[in-house]
Amino acid sequence: MKPVAIFRHSATEGSGYISTFFNEHAIPWELIRIDGGDPVPFDVREYSGLVFMGGTMSVNDDLPWIPLTLALIRDAYAKDVPVLGHCLGGQLMAKAFGGVVTKNPVKELGWGRTEVADNATAREWFGNARAFDSFHWHGETFSLPQDAVHVLSSAHCANQAFVIGKHLALQCHVEMTEHMIREWCSVGAAELAANAASPAVQSAQEMQAQMKEKLPELHRVADRLYRYWSRGLAN
């Protein structure tokens, strides 16, 4: 089986729980360190799937790898290679498919309830789950591209996820681990302090105090999403 390409855009936003899932299910994967200067692959057929992680930049920034990534996502769609995006990765997918990325009304930083849409596509991906506590760390949001099916929302961000065929774009972070949360709280301390008054922002202490309770549920949701997505991996 060809490997799944996992794209890292910032050093602190690596593969997280999805690499654990791939290892447990004997799915080969390769980390492409965009933040380390790795080139965006030219031939999508070298991979069985593409996974895009988060990042501190905006998809609207003038960065040389962004147009190449958008073209790669469109090529993956054309060649039926499944794409999965987390936060920045979901925004890259939205822009590649014709959506727009704009400022969200408020920043969402920390744990927050995420509602599953009442439609057949959402039930295919999320099963019987109607809501779950996801992790959030974003200040922008995407619009829904043409032909996208809306599958997730939250009180402070209407578009938390969409599906187009076998492709899943997430605004929220289902890939979190305890190490990642602690690291983000450390490197993002100034951002947390600057937005402490927002109704969608938790303190570092609140985030970390809830990890033991909320991470197992988040991983169960991630397991289902990753398993369903993996069924479409290209041969």
In a domain, 131, yes or no: yes
Residue 115 falls within a domain, yes or no? yes
Coil, strand or helix at 43:
coil
- Residue 234 is predicted with a pLDDT of 80
10 Å Cβ neighbour count for 209?
13
pLDDT for the residue numbered 207 = 98
Of the CA atoms within 13 Å of residue 108, those in its CB half-sphere come to: 26
Residue range of the domain that includes 106: 4-230
| The dihedral formed by the CA atoms of 19, 25, 26 and 28, expressed in degrees to the nearest 10 | -40
At 78-118, the pLDDT tens digits run: 999 999 999 999 999 999 999 999 999 999 999 999 999 99
Contacts with 174 (C-beta within 8 Å, 6 or more apart), sequence order:
17, 86, 134, 135, 218, 221, 222, 225
Q: Is residue 226 part of a domain?
A: yes
170 part of a folded domain: yes
Q: Which residues of the chain have pLDDT under 70?
A: none
Q: Is residue 143 part of a domain?
A: yes
**Run of H or E residues at 192:** helix 189-194
pLDDT, position 235:
76
Cβ neighbours for 57, distance < 8 A, ≥ 6 positions apart:
9, 10, 63, 88
**Burial of 195 (C-beta count, 10 Å sphere; 0-12/13-18/19+):** middle
Tally of structural domains, the chain: 1
Our measurement of the distance from residue 133's CA atom to the centroid of its chain's CA atoms, rounded to an integer in Å, reads 15
Asked if residue 235 is part of any domain, the answer here is no
Residue 202 lies in a domain: yes
CATH number, residue 99:
3.40.50.880
Closest CA to 35 of 53, 10, 4, 6: 10
